Amino acid sequence: MAKPSILIVDDTEDNRLGLADWLEERYECLMAESADQAEVILRDARPLVILLDLSLPGRSGWEFAYQLKADGRTRDIPIIAISAFVAAVDRERALEAGCDGFLPKPFRMAQLFEAIERVSPQAP
């Protein structure tokens, strides 16, 4: 049986690989370093959840989340913002942009799995 996929969108390779290390036992990890790369992946993939860094080159994570939620093809994919921006205003801004959850960096693996299960109850 195929594992569900998670799309990790983060411009820092170490962050992408670190998240994939935590997730790869349960999920197929798709990775993008920008909103543009993520858009290409989303043409063919339907991830269970998108883990989205808010600080991206080009379009910010806030802008990208807003665009994903405005698009009928992607609006129902849960988005968890992952960010070093930890102020309450940043969390509120992420949720207003359409993110379904918010994890301030650094976070623990247990917090990540809890966030995934919260936004996607069918998660393994």
- pLDDT for 21-43, tens place per residue? 999 999 999 999 999 999 999 99
Can you give the CATH number for the domain in which 106 is found?
3.40.50.2300
Full domain range(s) for residue 98: 5-119
Residue 51, domain member (yes or no): yes
Asked if residue 19 is part of any domain, the answer here is yes
Tell me the per-residue pLDDT of 55-82, one tens digit each, with 9 for 90 and over. 898 999 999 999 999 999 999 999 999 9
CB 41 within 8 A of CB 51: no
Residue 30 lies in a domain: yes
Whether 124 is in a domain gets the answer: no
Q: Is residue 38 part of a domain?
A: yes
User: Per the domain annotation, does 88 fall within a domain?
Assistant: yes
Domain-located, residue 101? yes
Count of domains forming the chain? 1
Report residue 83's pLDDT band, with 50, 70 and 90 as the boundaries: confident
Report if residue 53 sits inside a domain.
yes
